[in-house]
Amino acid sequence: MSSDLDSDQVFTGIYDMFVENLHHAKQYFEAFDRYDTRMEGWFHGQMLILLSQESRQGWRLLTVNKKVDDDGGRPDLRILSGQQRLRIEIKSMIIDSRTLSMYFRKSFGKDLRKMRASREPMRLITVAFPITDEGKWKELVDRVNNEYESSPYCSEDISYPPDRKARVTMWKKEKS
């Protein structure tokens, strides 16, 4: 990859590396699920390691959880690709024992608003597990589309024991 990639190509490349890494971490999903904990910091750490190792791809990690000047607040990760600054937020959600509406009231809704307000290109990556009810997931997607004018850009399932799955989704705001 070169530094003249557009932001969608960079985000997709980062997302693909992240998902590939998570496919090799099924034991973590199993443990987080068993003990009903989302361990969001672990996912941040995985992305931080990947981005630190992948500077040869045409981007480099600029900041981790640092305040910036515009309305986007404090992004989890800020990346430089060519001359363009990009932002990534990572959110993990255990949706078996908690309701999706709880995530909307709290952190997920806040991150969606942050993405909508950001002047720099930004994506929100969610790691939701376990996905046991596709109807609830569709309701989540519809609600995000309606209330936050954002939609899934990429989505992939990761199976883990015992017969469970996690869904890693990258969200983007719709064109204004």
Assess whether pLDDT exceeds 90 at residue 30.
yes
Nearest alpha carbon to residue 51 among 19, 75, 17: 17
Q: What is the pTM of this model?
A: 0.88
pLDDT at 104: 65
Q: What is the pLDDT of residues 59-98, one digit of tens each?
A: 888 888 887 766 657 888 899 888 889 999 999 888 765 6
Looking at every residue in the chain, the average pLDDT score rounds to: 84
CB contact set of 169 (below 8 Å; sequence gap of 6+): 125, 126, 128, 152, 154, 155
Q: Work out the burial of residue 78: count CB atoms within 10 Å of its CB; fewer than 13 is exposed, 13-18 middle, 19 or more buried.
A: buried
Q: Tell me, what's the pLDDT at 100? A: 64
